[in-house]
């Protein structure tokens, strides 16, 4: 069991206020240890990397430690598979630019309707290269009484794969639906079908932004080619990281760096100009904190404890929202509490007594000391595909929690919802 008092003491914004942070999918609170490292870097080792003088050696080693921190969080084989960037959107765009020369006219991309960070770059590349884009859409279970209780089904993906498939870009966890996608199973199904149809070269790109705060990433076990997430969603600074499998990095990607730099098998080819050094060093505090959640300092055990605590947050909120179905409340995403969903919960209020999502959030805003949001959260295509149709601007109410939230905070959220939905 997590020691929540100890957990929350690591976050000054939480420890020093009674604010309820319910918009964590948009960005978590930052660890004090992260800020201390950023400050220490800027105040004491803020020099250029790669020189032989002692201060530069120290600075270079600190940034190298940041790459190692990301490698650990990905469970990658080597730091030579890790690239940093300003955002996940930028890293995915860089990846699409770097892979462009290895894409042929007539190839096909498969994307999901989730966050545009892992769809937009491939759609734009498709337009440049004459590539067909196919969508792996979320859908409801047969005979579901809630048309918005949608999720991705592997059985819908497999028929989309042909001998022309080049990229399959999907999410590990939906930032709207809260559902976890079985990444290893999906990639295995992709590779099996690709081999069956004789595809030239199929690579996978997985968006782990909404997954990384809740579950352990394991790129080796998954067999993924590219994978990314944002450190600022995982208690760190506003910077993001991308994993590129060594073989893909060498054979599929063209360097975006200066032409005279020899980076054929190095991740620098995906981060022209380099990342913010102080932010990279700040990231070294993240795995240290996560390991500290486990008595044995084991990262897998830490994420197990996180998942267990999150179930105590999901259960009462989902139960309450489901109980208001007759009032017109519809959960958008999985309705059941299980380890296959995270505490990112979206809903709408429809029917004869419909309430706009923005009006629900406005009540929370007026109460003060609590933050939730409404909108499409950059999963525009997903929201636009739901039936019956939703207003994409108003979209859904989203309450997104993480392991530092408490059951008492969930109870407060429910109390406000009870007033609104009376």
pLDDT tens profile 273-315: 888 999 999 999 999 999 999 999 999 999 999 999 999 999 9
Q: Write down the residue that tokens 């022209």 correspond to.
A: 272
pLDDT digits (tens, 9 = 90+) for 47-77: 999 999 999 999 999 999 999 999 999 999 9
Predicted confidence band at 16 (pLDDT cuts at 50, 70, 90)?
confident
Contact (Cβ atoms closer than 8 angstroms) between residue 284 and residue 65: yes
Burial letters 248-269, b for 16+ CB under 10 A, else e: bbeebbebbbeeeeebeebbbb
Instruction: For residue range 380-392, list pLDDT tens digits in order.
Output: 999 999 999 999 9
Percent of the chain with pLDDT over 70: 100
The CATH number of the domain covering residues in 4-30+297-420: 3.90.1150.10
Q: Rounded CA gap, 39 and 23, in Å? A: 26
Q: Is the pLDDT of residue 138 over 90?
A: yes
State mean pLDDT over 152-166. 98
150/181 Cα distance (integer angstroms): 12
- Report the C-alpha dihedral over residues 12, 17, 18, 23, rounded to 10 degrees: -50
Q: Domain-by-domain residue ranges, the chain?
A: 4-30+297-420, 44-288
Q: How far apart are CA 44 and CA 233, in angstroms?
A: 27
Separation CA 222–CA 187 (nearest Å): 7
**Once rounded to an integer, what is the mean pLDDT over residues 361-366?**
98
Question: pLDDT tens digit string along 238-277?
Answer: 999 999 999 999 999 999 999 898 887 888 899 888 889 9
Is pLDDT above 90 for 202?
Answer: yes
pLDDT value of position 403:
98
Q: Are 166 and 386 in contact (CB under 8 A)?
A: no
Nearest to 32 by CA among 204, 310, 236: 236
CATH number for region 44-288:
3.40.640.10
Q: What is the pLDDT of residue 141?
A: 84
What is the average pLDDT score of the chain?
97
């Amino acid at each position: 069991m997590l020691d929540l008092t100890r957990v929350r003491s690591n976050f000054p914004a939480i420890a020093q206020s009674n604010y309820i942070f319910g918009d964590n999918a948009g960005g978590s609170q930052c660890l004090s240890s992260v800020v201390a490292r950023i400050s220490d870097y800027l105040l004491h080792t803020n020099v250029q990397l790669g020189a032989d003088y002692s201060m530069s050696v120290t600075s270079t080693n600190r940034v190298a430690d940041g790459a190692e921190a990301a490698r650990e969080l990905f469970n990658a084989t080597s730091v030579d598979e890790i690239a940093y960037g300003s955002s996940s959107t930028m890293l995915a765009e860089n990846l699409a630019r770097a892979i462009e020369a290895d894409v042929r006219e007539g190839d096909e991309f498969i994307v999901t309707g989730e966050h545009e960070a892992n769809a937009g770059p491939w759609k734009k590349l498709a337009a440049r290269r004459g590539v067909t884009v196919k969508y792996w859409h979320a859908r409801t279970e047969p005979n579901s009484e809630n048309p918005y209780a949608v999720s991705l089904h592997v059985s819908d993906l497999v028929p989309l794969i042909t001998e022309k498939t080049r990229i399959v870009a999907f999410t590990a966890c939906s930032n709207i639906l809260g559902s976890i996608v079985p990444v290893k199973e999906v990639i295995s199904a992709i590779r099996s079908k690709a081999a069956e149809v004789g595809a030239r070269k199929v690579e996978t790109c997985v968006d782990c932004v909404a997954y990384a705060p809740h579950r352990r990433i394991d790129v080796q076990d998954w067999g993924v080619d590219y994978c990314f997430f944002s450190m600022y969603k995982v208690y760190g600074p506003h910077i993001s990281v991308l994993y590129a499998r060594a073989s893909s990095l060498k054979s599929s990607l063209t360097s975006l760096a200066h032409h005279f730099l020899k980076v054929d098998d190095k991740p620098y080819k995906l981060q022209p100009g380099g990342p913010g050094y102080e932010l990279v060093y700040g990231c070294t505090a993240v795995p240290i904190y996560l390991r500290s959640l486990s008595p044995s300092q084991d990262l897998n055990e830490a994420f197990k404890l996180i998942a267990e605590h999150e179930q105590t947050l999901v259960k009462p909120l989902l139960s309450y929202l489901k109980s208001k179905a007759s009032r017109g409340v519809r959960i958008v995403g999985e309705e059941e509490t299980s380890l296959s969903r995270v505490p990112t919960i979206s809903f709408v209020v429809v029917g004869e007594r419909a309430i706009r999502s923005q009006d629900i959030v406005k009540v929370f805003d007026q109460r003060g000391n609590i933050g939730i949001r409404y909108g499409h959260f950059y999963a525009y295509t997903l929201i636009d595909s739901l039936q019956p149709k939703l207003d994409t601007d108003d979209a859904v109410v989203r309450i997104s929690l993480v392991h530092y939230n408490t059951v008492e905070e969930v109870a407060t959220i429910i109390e406000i919802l009870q007033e609104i939905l009376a």
